[in-house]
Amino acid sequence: MKVIVLGAGVIGVTSAWYLTQAGHQVTVIERQPGAGLETSYANGGQISVSHAEPWANPAAPAKVMRWLFREDAPLLFRLRADLQQWLWGLAFLRECLPARARRNTVQLVKLGLYSRAELTRLRRATGIQNDQLECGILHFFTEPDAHAHAGETAALMRAHGCDLELKRAEEVIAIEPALRPIAGSLLGATYTPSDQSGDAYLFTARLAALAAERGCEFLYNTAIEGLERSAERISGVRIRDDSGSRVLRADAYVVALASYSPALLRPLGIRVCVYPAKGYSVTVPITDESRAPRVSLIDESLKIVVSRLGARLRIAGTAEFAGHDLSINRTRCEAILRRAQTLFPGAFDASQAQFWTGLRPATPGNVPLIGRTRLPNLYLNTGHGTLGWTLACGSGRALADIIGGRPPEVAFEFLRGRP
């Protein structure tokens, strides 16, 4: 079958990889000059099944209200005259209901476990290297409310196969001695030994190169302008490159355009609730190995994650709902850098900090949209929100199975012709 994949982020590239491996003739279209150059470029680096609890949970509405006008808030809604933002916000509130939050968590744990195992298999099969570390993830707490809630989430995740363990403050320091500077304020943590970290960009770019060696075609510097429909099928994709505009045709089309997916789908009458949740990362060179963590970390108080990527430390996080604006807000970046300096004094050179921002393609409950739409040759692999790197290999493999007519190996609620 001839398949066109729209978008070469980590989701489009993993989809293309598994489709190519399954024997399909695959073309990937991407506006950037290479793979992984937008949201997948400088994310937190975590393969974090343990971070499956979505932002939309029963505690969220009170926190969001408290943070509403704080420029350095971890989760900030910048209220705009934007209908999509308000519709998304209302849907987010519904996903905060306890039963829905539990259901979403379980969905994400199932897909996350499958995806992490697929990543490990892929890495063994290809030898791909991306500054990965398999040291687990420590999610630590310095605030009593969040710490009190940790046990409940841990029990739910453990019940669904995630090996998340509760740790006391002194055990946390034993697992990651680089946290010693904040030992006095540590209340405890959860630790997931099987979680991992690694550079999502290196992975995406290297996997794209391996896919190209196996016959997958990549059209870079090529903008997708629209999908053409004939009766109840997609008949082509309109693209524009240096040589002008033309239509490419295939048997099946996969939309992996992250937060730009809704705009492409809307003219077809297909409505998907994916809104950009802007996040920041700061990457610094490590100057003192002994003070920098090796275990990947989640700091619940500021909602940031920390990963060691080779000789660099990547600190990432916070979310701002403000449309597709990609300008860098220094206040938010400096809040992240300050926290990193408190956690790991003397570990890195802050004067060489690189600030980056990306738009997480967020669904209200953080559960991605994977599967076939009501147009039988149009498929989605989008809306991976805070967990796109974690969920990429599982999502790509499962989508390739669906397109190939095989049942996916993971019990996840895939789309069944709904949108």
Ligand X SMILES: Cc1cc2nc3c(=O)[nH]c(=O)nc-3n(C[C@H](O)[C@H](O)[C@H](O)COP(=O)(O)OP(=O)(O)OC[C@H]3O[C@@H](n4cnc5c(N)ncnc54)[C@H](O)[C@@H]3O)c2cc1C
The site for ligand X (CB under 6 A) is made up of 7-12, 29-32, 37-40, 43-46, 48, 223-224, 256-258, 260, 279-281, 305, 316, 358, 360-361, 382, 384-390
Nearer to ligand X among residue 169 and residue 385 (C-beta) = 385
Nearer to ligand X among residue 48 and residue 104 (C-beta) = 48
Shortest distance (Å) from residue 257 CB to ligand X: 4
Nearer to ligand X among residue 135 and residue 316 (C-beta) = 316
Bridge partner residues of 234 (DSSP): 229
For every residue of 22-47, DSSP letters joined together read TT-EEEEE-SSSSTT-STTSS---EE
From first CA to last CA, the distance across the chain in angstroms is 23
Shortest distance (Å) from residue 225 CB to ligand X: 7
Rounded Cα–Cα distance for residues 128 and 17 (Å):
13
Shortest distance (Å) from residue 296 CB to ligand X: 8
In 3-state terms, what secondary structure has residue 171? helix
Shortest distance (Å) from residue 157 CB to ligand X: 16
Contacts of 342 by beta carbon, 8 Å cutoff, 6+ apart? 181, 182
Which two three-digit tokens encode residue 108? 């994400």
Nearer to ligand X among residue 136 and residue 361 (C-beta) = 361
Which two three-digit tokens encode residue 201? 């960009």
- Strands (E) in 289-347, as ranges, are 296-299, 304-309, 312-321
Nearer to ligand X among residue 14 and residue 169 (C-beta) = 14
Shortest distance (Å) from residue 168 CB to ligand X: 25
Shortest distance (Å) from residue 378 CB to ligand X: 16
Rounded Cα–Cα distance for residues 379 and 232 (Å):
13
Rounded Cα–Cα distance for residues 398 and 393 (Å):
8
**Per-residue DSSP letter, 324:** B
For every residue of 58-108, DSSP letters joined together read TTHHHHHHHHTT-TT-SEEE---S-HHHHHHHHHHHHHTSHHHHHHHHHHH
Nearer to ligand X among residue 153 and residue 307 (C-beta) = 307
Shortest distance (Å) from residue 399 CB to ligand X: 12
Nearer to ligand X among residue 125 and residue 223 (C-beta) = 223
For every residue of 105-131, DSSP letters joined together read HHHHHHHHHHHHHHHHHHHHHH---SS
Bridge partner residues of 237 (DSSP): 227, 248
Shortest distance (Å) from residue 366 CB to ligand X: 10
**Per-residue DSSP letter, 352:** G
Rounded Cα–Cα distance for residues 349 and 189 (Å):
27
Nearer to ligand X among residue 106 and residue 254 (C-beta) = 254
Nearer to ligand X among residue 153 and residue 169 (C-beta) = 153
Shortest distance (Å) from residue 52 CB to ligand X: 10
